[in-house]
Amino acid sequence: MSRTAAIAVRELSKTYKDVRALDNVTLELEPDRIYGLLGRNGAGKTTLMSILTGQNYAQQGTAEIFGHDPFEHDPTLARICFIRESQKYPDDFKVFQAFKSAALFFENWNEQLAQDLVQAFDLPIKRRIKKLSRGQLSAVGVIIGMASRAEITFFDEPYLGLDAVARQIFYDRLVEDFAEYPRTIVLSSHLIDEVANLLEHVIVIDKGRIVIDSDAEQLRGSAVTVTGDAAKVQEFVGTAEVIHRDALGALASVTIKAKLDGSQREQAKLMGLDLSPVSLQQLVVRSALSSTTEEALAERTEARK
């Protein structure tokens, strides 16, 4: 390896009472890329980020930021920014005071960027933080995260309560600023399609386990949905790994984990089958979620019929 990984996690486990929040997680994140940390609510996203930023600690395994355990290590902590989704602020703080504080601690803090974002989000900076709406509260976190320009920045479900326009502003400004000041960004989200285009690498966590850790580009081409006459679909699919199956009368739609080459595509065409790409969200939902969830989904689908 030519340079130190931004984040290196080995066999990390954390249990809260009877819940296994993280289960033997091993990951390596390279510097200067945008990562998506995807998963359902309660999958372990926030716990993982808390440990990576020294705000929490694991019972087993190691987490290293640029080769150092971040826990209680000021020089390493100074390179990280993590505003949690349910971040608490001092009771009497006004918005601008939170920014003033962030400017003290984040060496790369860019006041101009913060001001621009305040305008873009139309944030009342003289208002007390505890009087803000959910969306405005998210905006405060987003602004601190972006303007800090920390070497590793975590965004924890940053869009909560933000309207569509504000969310688009966030995504656009993030890409814009990233292009100018590359850094490692970890975006935690359960709105997968919305952030799909930003991500260079996708990590999916479910029930504390890493179920996908893959390049986004690769992931997008790794599955295909075959639709057509049920018998023909079955013939075409053969022994490929099926991740989802839908049937409607004589028609079937089967999603398989496979990279098709030209001749296979040609064959599908000859058989009168339709091939369609699978969106990141579908892929994550279909392949990542554990069997119990799939069963629940299947049941719901049954019920609807």
Partner 1 sequence: MNRVIKVARMQLINKGTFIGIPAMILVSAFLFTLVIWWLVRRNGAEGIMYGGGAQAPMWYFLALGIQALTLTFPFSMAMSISRRSFYLGTVALFSVCALVLSVFYYLMGLVEKATGGWGLDGRFFALQWVADNNWFIQIMFYFVLMLLLFMVGFLTATIYMRWRTTGMVVFFTLLGVLSLAVIALFTFNDFWDEFWGWALTWTAAGVTLWGGLAAVLMAGGSYLTLRRATA
Between 101 and 222, name the residue whose CB sits nearer to partner 1.
Answer: 101
Q: Give residue 46's Cα distance to chain centre.
A: 11
CB of 90 to partner 1, least distance (A): 5
CB of 150 to partner 1, least distance (A): 7
- Taken in order 169, 171, 176, 182, the sign of the CA dihedral is positive
Output the CA torsion 161→103→96→138 (10° steps).
Answer: 0
Choosing from 4, 8, 93, 222, the residue that interacts with partner 1 (CB under 8 A) is 93
Output the CA torsion 158→40→161→281 (10° steps).
Answer: 80
Tell me the three state secondary structure of residue 21.
strand
Answer whether 145's CB lies under 8 Å from 155's CB: yes
Phi, psi of 297 (to 5 degrees): -60, -45
The C-alpha atoms of residue 264 and residue 235 are separated, in whole angstroms, by 12
Q: Strand 223-229: give its sheet, edge to edge.
A: 241-248, 251-257, 223-229, 274-277
The C-alpha atoms of residue 168 and residue 217 are separated, in whole angstroms, by 22
CB of 141 to partner 1, least distance (A): 8
Closest by Cα among 141, 153, 143 to 118:
143
Choosing from 12, 29, 80, 210, the residue that interacts with partner 1 (CB under 8 A) is 80
As given in the structure block, the two tokens for residue 58 are 């694991």
Q: Does 68 bind partner 1 (CB under 8 A)?
A: no
Q: Does 81 bind partner 1 (CB under 8 A)?
A: yes
Scan residues 136-175 and list those touching partner 1 (CB under 8 A): 144, 150
Choosing from 28, 32, 42, 57, the residue that interacts with partner 1 (CB under 8 A) is 57
Q: Does 35 bind partner 1 (CB under 8 A)?
A: no
Q: Does 50 bind partner 1 (CB under 8 A)?
A: yes
As given in the structure block, the two tokens for residue 244 are 């989802």
CB of 7 to partner 1, least distance (A): 15
Q: Does 178 bind partner 1 (CB under 8 A)?
A: no
Cα-atom radius of gyration of the chain, to the nearest Å? Answer: 22
Choosing from 105, 124, 248, 265, the residue that interacts with partner 1 (CB under 8 A) is 105
Q: Does 131 bind partner 1 (CB under 8 A)?
A: no
As given in the structure block, the two tokens for residue 172 are 């656009």
Q: Does 54 bind partner 1 (CB under 8 A)?
A: yes
Choosing from 1, 2, 3, 74, the residue that interacts with partner 1 (CB under 8 A) is 74
Between 87 and 222, name the residue whose CB sits nearer to partner 1.
Answer: 87
CB of 125 to partner 1, least distance (A): 14
**Looking at 48-56, 210-218, 233-241, 294-302, which segment touches partner 1 (CB under 8 A)?**
48-56
Closest by Cα among 126, 123, 128, 37 to 85:
37
**Looking at 49-57, 217-225, 274-282, 286-294, which segment touches partner 1 (CB under 8 A)?**
49-57
Choosing from 35, 66, 82, 236, the residue that interacts with partner 1 (CB under 8 A) is 82
Between 93 and 171, name the residue whose CB sits nearer to partner 1.
Answer: 93
Q: Does 102 bind partner 1 (CB under 8 A)?
A: yes
As given in the structure block, the two tokens for residue 261 are 């080459």
| Residues lying near partner 1 in the complex (CB under 8 A) | 50, 53-57, 72-74, 77-78, 80-84, 87-93, 97-98, 100-102, 104-106, 144, 150
